[in-house]
């Protein structure tokens, strides 16, 4: 099944100049970028993005995540498309906690902090990237971050082998 998914390269990825290296990993496995823009998220956008995070992980965690997303720097928002894109992206990204992410994943190769360390420092874990967790979540998140006119349709040369 061909899916679209949202990926956010968070401010730490942008500030560390990892954008190209991260995007390359998605393109290397055949995912197609159908939407891309740099956004400095405001509080309203961050709140809507992390809508249910307070219920799942507590309001303190939500506030930290929102502050990180809105005050640290811009985000590169991407819509990726491909065969089972949600699952493929999640696999490439690795575990949410960088110290637990396997080598070869984006977080495993470029980040290392633990949740415990971040909690001791009263900050969020700089884990580089957000990736939608399910096709349903991807649909909602794409609609939140992108207008329909910002999503593009085109064919890559290798798609002849997939379709």
Report residue 101 as tokens: 């992410």
Tokens linked to 50: 């992390």
Chunked into runs of 10 residues, the chain (163 residues) has average pLDDT values of 96 96 97 97 91 66 86 95 97 94 96 85 88 96 97 87 64
Per-residue H/E/C for the chain: CEEEEEEEECHHHHHCCCHHHHHHHHHHCCCEEEEEEEECCCHHHHHHHCCCHHHHHCHHHHHHHHHHHHHCCCEEEEEEEEECHHHHHHHHHCCCCHHHCCCCCHHHHHCCCCHHHHHHCCCCCCCCEEECCCHHHHHHHHHHHCCHHHCCCCCCHHHHHCC
Which of 49, 112, 130, 161 is an active site residue? 130
> Which CATH number applies to 2-146?
3.30.70.141
The answer to whether residue 130 is catalytic is yes
Neighbours of 38 (CB within 10 A): 12
Q: Domains of the chain: which residue ranges?
A: 2-146
Residue 53 is predicted with a pLDDT of 61
Q: How many beta carbons lie within 10 A of that of residue 124, not counting itself?
A: 22
How far is CA 116 from each of CA 69, 105, 120, 159, rounded to the nearest angstrom?
Answer: 20, 21, 6, 43
């Amino acid at each position: 099944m061909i899916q679209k998914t949202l990926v956010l390269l968070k401010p730490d990825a942008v500030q560390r100049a990892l954008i190209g290296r991260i995007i390359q990993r998605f393109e290397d496995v055949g995912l197609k970028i159908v939407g891309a823009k740099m956004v400095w998220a405001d509080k309203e956008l961050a709140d809507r993005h992390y809508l249910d995070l307070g219920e799942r992980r507590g309001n303190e965690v939500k506030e930290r995540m929102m502050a990180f997303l809105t005050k640290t720097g811009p985000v590169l928002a991407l819509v990726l498309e491909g065969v089972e894109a949600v699952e493929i992206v999640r696999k490439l990204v690795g575990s949410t906690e960088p110290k637990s992410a396997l080598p070869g994943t984006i977080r495993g190769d470029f980040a290392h902090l633990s949740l415990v360390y971040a909690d001791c420092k009263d900050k969020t874990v700089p884990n580089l990237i957000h990736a939608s967790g399910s096709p349903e979540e991807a649909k909602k998140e794409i609609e939140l971050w992108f207008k329909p006119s910002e999503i593009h349709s085109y064919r890559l040369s290798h798609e002849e082998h997939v379709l």
